[in-house]
Chain A
Amino acid sequence: MGCTKPRVIPSGDIADAMEELCISACCNLPEENLKTIEAFAAAEESEVGRQVLEMILENHRLAAREQRPACQDTGLAVVFLELGQDVRIERGDLVAAINEGVRRGYEKGYLRKSVVSEPLFERKNTCDNTPAIIHTDIVPGSELKITLAPKGGGAENMSGIAMMIPAAGVEGVRKFVIEQVRKAGPNPCPPVVVGVGIGGNFETAPLLAKKALVRPMGSRNPNPAYAALEDELLEAINRLGIGPQGLGGSTTALAVHVEYAPCHIASLPVAVNLNCHVSPHRSITL
């Protein structure tokens, strides 16, 4: 077998792609988000709830039309990279290129800069929304897929993890997820998208939950048992009564996405990461 010649991607192309992704993700919401909200608006039991969902739809269309961020909280730039192992990045490093793109995108797109450099004492705004939070998977192939999921603080603050014992089982998971959404109430800007990560360990379960949020809204887990769990959780959450913006109603969540991973024989980690109804994300493949 001969050597595979690496495919070269200039770091400048990565920065350019990131810049475009930042603006596009915040202003142009995925079509399936709007379709899902429309479907729930048609079925919403509360008149005020319907009115709120209509306002949200109007807002999201306005954002795309006028290229304004749908929400002022344009979040932390959470970046998922699928880096083909046959890619070589030249003329600069990957992380610097991502951050350069975030810096330019948040400036050019009139997006809010929401990062403080240190969490406890000074909390000084970095003023360019860097650094991005970057998760990299090395995958076969010679492409680089970049997914940006700008993540607001309001919904993120309502997230949680439980290190359960295996005996807790499906019922334990169900109770924890529903209770997490119930406790969050109106705070994460319902209707929410619920990302659930089951398995792995203390650091991977939340990452699975976050990855679940970037799936197309309403898509189902390919494993039928997990897809059924998603359906069951969505129905149970929508019986809580929280409703659009917490004002009461039958639309508390737009989707529940569950992701899972192998775990230790002693463990059953479960993480819940919430997203608001804006739920922005965009991908590009170089």
Chain B
Amino acid sequence: MAKRITTPLDEETIAGLRAGDQVLLTGVVYTARDAAHKRLMALIKERKELPIDLRGQVIYYVGPAPAKPGDPIGSAGPTTSMRMDPYAPILMEHGMKGMIGKGMRSREVRDAMVRHRAVYFAAVGGAAALVAKRIKSAEVVAYEELGPEAIRKLYVDDLPLFVIDDIHGADLYEQGVAKYRKE
């Protein structure tokens, strides 16, 4: 049975999540992938204000397809998270509490999640038309010129996710392989 959770993520919600949990997430999430992360890092380095307040927020690693007329967004499944590994611990220092993507995270990111009490979720990669149905609104809030890589503010309703990494250091990918591997 999936747990319903809402953003921004509070301490109680985060503490209650375990690797392997299925959740339905509702609320605002922000999109960012490679190019947007690079720009956020440059602002942090120059000690400038970020275009979004990251405290308690969830970043969705996605570069959506263009919206058809009348739709808020086009197909919008997760992209591979490891490309954002060099940046994720720094964003956690700035208050980010959740990440949505797909695929493995580095040791450094997992350690940072334990330290900063943040959670990593996976959406179903390649199920992008289905995911888009759960996105109710989308607006570009920064870097429009980056096209699919712009930062968008999304409102999602019951977005189906799996908890991959929790604040206790557990990892669903490791658990899954250990359970089903045949020697």
Q: Which of B9-17, B71-79, B88-96, B110-118 contacts A (4 or more CB under 8 A)?
A: B71-79
A94 at the interface (CB under 8 A from B): no
Least CB distance, B176 to chain A, in whole angstroms? 2
B124 engages A112 (CB within 8 Å): no
- Interface 0/1 of B59-103, CB less than 8 Å to A: 000111111100000111101101000000000000000000011
Least CB distance, B161 to chain A, in whole angstroms? 11
Q: Which DSSP category, helix, strand, loop or mixed, fits chain A's interface?
A: loop
Given known A154-B79, A186-B173, A240-B181, contact A58–B130 (CB-CB < 8 A): yes
Q: How many residues of chain A have a CB within 8 Å of chain B? A: 47
Q: Please, which residues of chain A bring their CB within 8 A of the CB of B80?
A: 153-154, 157, 187
- Interface 0/1 of A49-91, CB less than 8 Å to B: 0001001101100110010111111100000000000000000
Find the B residue at minimum CB distance from A154. B80
Given known A110-B65, A110-B67, contact A239–B128 (CB-CB < 8 A): no
A247 engages B65 (CB within 8 Å): no
Q: Please, which residues of chain A bring their CB within 8 A of the CB of B74?
A: 68-69, 72, 110, 112
Q: Please, which residues of chain A bring their CB within 8 A of the CB of B173?
A: 185-186, 246-248
Find the B residue at minimum CB distance from A45. B180
Q: How many residues of chain B have a CB within 8 Å of chain A? A: 45
C-alpha gap A73/B181 in the complex (Å): 30
Q: Please, which residues of chain B bring their CB within 8 A of the CB of A127?
A: 147
A248 engages B148 (CB within 8 Å): no
B129 at the interface (CB under 8 A from A): yes
Contact of A112 among B35, B64, B176, B180 (CB under 8 A): B64
Least CB distance, A64 to chain B, in whole angstroms? 9
B179 at the interface (CB under 8 A from A): yes
B172 at the interface (CB under 8 A from A): yes
Q: Which of B35, B102, B122 has the most CB of A within 10 A?
A: B102
- Interface 0/1 of A39-52, CB less than 8 Å to B: 00000011010001
Find the B residue at minimum CB distance from A185. B104
Least CB distance, B78 to chain A, in whole angstroms? 9
B residues with CB within 8 A of A:
22, 35, 62-68, 74-77, 79-80, 82, 102-104, 122, 124-130, 132-133, 146-149, 160, 162, 172-173, 175-182
Beyond A69-B128, A113-B148, 10 extra complex contacts between A and B, CB < 8 Å: A68-B68, A71-B125, A72-B75, A186-B122, A240-B177, A241-B180, A246-B122, A248-B179, A276-B125, A277-B126
Query: Could you list 19 examples of A-B contacts with CB < 8 Å?
Result: A69-B65, A69-B128, A71-B125, A111-B65, A123-B35, A125-B147, A157-B80, A185-B173, A187-B104, A189-B102, A240-B177, A241-B177, A241-B179, A242-B176, A245-B122, A245-B162, A247-B173, A249-B180, A276-B126
A residues with CB within 8 A of B:
45-46, 48, 52, 55-56, 58-59, 62-63, 66, 68-74, 110-114, 123, 125, 127, 153-154, 157, 185-187, 189, 239-243, 245-250, 276-278
**What 6 pairs between A and B have smallest CB-CB spacing?**
A248-B176, A241-B181, A241-B180, A187-B103, A189-B125, A59-B127
